[in-house]
Amino acid sequence: MHKTLKLFTIFLSLIILSGCSSLSGLKFWGDDEEEIELPAVLEEITQKISISSLWDAKVGKEKIQGRISPSISGERIFYINAEGELFAFEKSNGRKLWEKETDDQASGGIETAFRKIIYGTLDGEVVVLNQENGEETWRAQATSEILSSPITNGSVVVAQGADGSVTGFDFDDGEQSWIHQVTVPNLSLRGTSTPILEQGFIFTGFANGTVAMIYPDSGAVRLELPITINEAASELERIVDIDGKVVVASDVLVSASYQGHITAIDLQQGRPIWQEKVSTTKDLVEVRSRVVAIDDKDILKAFGLSSGVVLWQQEGLKLRGLTSPVSVRGNIAVGDFEGYIHIINGGDGSFLGRFRASKNPIVEIVSEGDKLAITDDKGRLFFLSLT
């Protein structure tokens, strides 16, 4: 009895420490002869796209307890590390324009828009600064820690908390405008979905497996639906967090959950139009009328946006600890645990290019045109070009 309790305690501890990572790779029991799956070995490819590093810079050392991505704004790239050091770089050559010590434990960000820099903290604060010099404009208190990037439309700043809250703050002075709250299950993954602004609405997912469509000015909910319903026997098996970004395109909302489904919802009629079994904690991305998901085995699957048909599947990066995918020139970019960046054809799932940017795991990628800004888990920022 004591041994069973001890094993269960270890298991729960690992869930907490694992952040938004998939739990499927954890194994504590079973047949000793059961084969343990290993990461896919990279096979040689024909380089159809050339990838080169323009510059790189050291931007941190501590592990982030949330999700922070570099942000490209005009001719600058901004980044804040877990220690609260904020950097502004010249995009063309990597020259550091300025650096600021904020003394914050940054955990969610960063958004750069309307000449502002916005991020969230482990203390549940939303912080807004000036892009020119990092001077603080305002900070406001949310209801819990913020583990994903706040967003803004220039009128309201929206932040999602780990407690299931979505809060709107006035863009100019930080006054709280509204709050939407959902009930979070007793047991869930550590992480939250990053809200997006599309078609004049906020779209986001929650740890209870639902997605919401929210009016940004009032916080009123136009639509809130379950993406998946998991009726498994144990509480562990009922974890159905939505931790990745949703996709909104052609009046269709697509979202996916851990241990659940990928589901497409017709926004005009407010009803599901297709659903397939999938388990993921990563962002979805839309390219060429396809929605691409990376499941908990690091298999990429492209679903038809309107039909849900699996149009292609790429298993060449299985179990390689992939980042969330991003769209680049109509194709897909992902990073892996050995520091490689992979470019995958959005049309058929074939490999177009590969480049080893770092000797360490890649954690985040953002794209702009034919450029990629990426970070690794040792606190280094890289700026890459595709030709």
What confidence tens digit (pLDDT) does each residue in 257-315 have?
Answer: 999 999 999 999 999 999 999 999 999 999 999 999 999 999 999 999 999 999 999 99
- 3: its two tokens: 């041994």
Percent of the chain with pLDDT over 70: 91
The model's pTM: 0.89
Looking at residue 71, which CATH number applies to its domain? Answer: 2.40.128.630
The per-residue pLDDT of the chain, averaged, comes to 91
The range of the structural domain enclosing residue 100 comes to 65-181
242 phi and psi angles, rounded to 5 deg: -105, 105
Contact 60, 338 (CB under 8 A): no
Q: According to the model, what pLDDT value does residue 34 have?
A: 59
Q: According to the model, what pLDDT value does residue 17 have?
A: 39
Q: How far apart (Å, rounded) are the C-alpha atoms in residues 282 and 256?
A: 9
Q: Read off the pLDDT band of 186 (50, 70, 90).
A: confident
Q: How far apart (Å, rounded) are the C-alpha atoms in residues 1 and 235?
A: 19
Q: According to the model, what pLDDT value does residue 238 have?
A: 80
Does residue 111 form part of some domain? yes
What is the count of structural domains for the chain? Answer: 1
Does residue 151 form part of some domain? yes
Q: Read off the pLDDT band of 228 (50, 70, 90).
A: confident
Q: According to the model, what pLDDT value does residue 372 have?
A: 98
Chain segment 113-147, per-residue pLDDT in tens: 999 999 999 999 999 999 999 999 999 999 999 99
Does residue 149 form part of some domain? yes
Does residue 309 form part of some domain? no
pLDDT of 190 over the 90 cut: no
Radius of gyration of the chain (CA): 20
Does residue 272 form part of some domain? no
Q: How far apart (Å, rounded) are the C-alpha atoms in residues 189 and 309?
A: 29
- 282: its two tokens: 């990563």
Chain segment 333-377, per-residue pLDDT in tens: 999 999 999 999 999 999 999 999 999 999 999 999 999 999 999
Q: How far apart (Å, rounded) are the C-alpha atoms in residues 85 and 104?
A: 8
Q: What does the pLDDT average to over 167-185?
A: 96
Q: According to the model, what pLDDT value does residue 25 have?
A: 41
pLDDT of 217 over the 50 cut: yes
Does residue 162 form part of some domain? yes
pLDDT of 28 over the 50 cut: no
Does residue 86 form part of some domain? yes
Q: How far apart (Å, rounded) are the C-alpha atoms in residues 13 and 286?
A: 35
Does residue 279 form part of some domain? no
